[in-house]
């Protein structure tokens, strides 16, 4: 067993008791959990990144635009509309996430658009990872 996967296994075991809602999406993949009911998602990756993200499925955007003619819009235009729809939720937390050392990216593919706030963590320091995840839960998950 390599050191990295051993660190990951130890970290996962220590986090599950604190965050029972953590899910292993794919075996050996990232751990994820919902941050409250607002649609924010927290993800911890095996390469040592904590992600707080908020997104919207392009299909949902097309439903919202159904009064118009979304079928006439290309994916780029629908993605722009999705970014418009997610802005209020993202802007509510952007400043505090950026001040706390997260960097912001926009992630887009054929299925969804998401604002992703990312911060690197040391997987060999479970306490620091747990503290950051707890901070995310308290900052985003509790505030409604």
Q: Is residue 125 over pLDDT 60?
A: yes
Q: Which residue has the higher pLDDT, 29 or 133?
A: 133
Instruction: Please tell me what DSSP assigns to residue 72.
Output: G
- Domains located in the chain, CATH noted: 3-141 (3.30.1460)
Buried b (16+ CB within 10 A) or exposed e, 31-45: bbbebeeeebbbbbb
- Helix axis angle, 3-18 to 126-136, nearest 10°: 40
Q: How far apart are CA 100 and CA 119, in angstroms?
A: 9
- Predicted confidence (pLDDT) at residue 26 exceeds the cutoff of 80: no
pLDDT bucket at 143, cuts 50 / 70 / 90? very low
What is the per-residue pLDDT across 73-87, written as a single tens digit (0 to 9) for each?
Answer: 777 788 888 888 899
- Please tell me the pTM assigned to this model: 0.85
What pLDDT is attached to residue 96?
A: 96
Per-residue pLDDT at 68 exceeds 60: no
Mean pLDDT of the chain: 86
Average the pLDDT over 65-75 and give the result: 67
If one compares 70 and 37, the residue with the highest pLDDT of the two is 37
């Amino acid at each position: 067993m390599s050191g990295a996967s051993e660190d990951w296994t130890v970290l996962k075991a220590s986090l599950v008791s604190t965050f029972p809602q953590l899910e292993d999406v794919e075996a050996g993949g990232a751990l994820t959990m919902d941050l409250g009911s607002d649609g924010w998602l927290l993800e911890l990756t095996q390469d040592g990144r904590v992600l707080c993200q908020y997104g919207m499925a392009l299909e949902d955007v097309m439903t919202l635009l159904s009064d118009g003619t979304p079928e006439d819009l290309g994916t780029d235009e629908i993605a722009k509309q999705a970014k418009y729809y997610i802005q209020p939720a993202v802007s509510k937390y952007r400043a505090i996430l950026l001040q706390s050392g997260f960097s912001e990216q926009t992630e887009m593919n054929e299925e969804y658009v998401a604002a992703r706030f990312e911060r690197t963590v040391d997987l060999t320091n479970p306490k620091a990872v747990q503290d950051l995840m707890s901070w995310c839960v308290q900052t985003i998950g509790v505030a409604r």
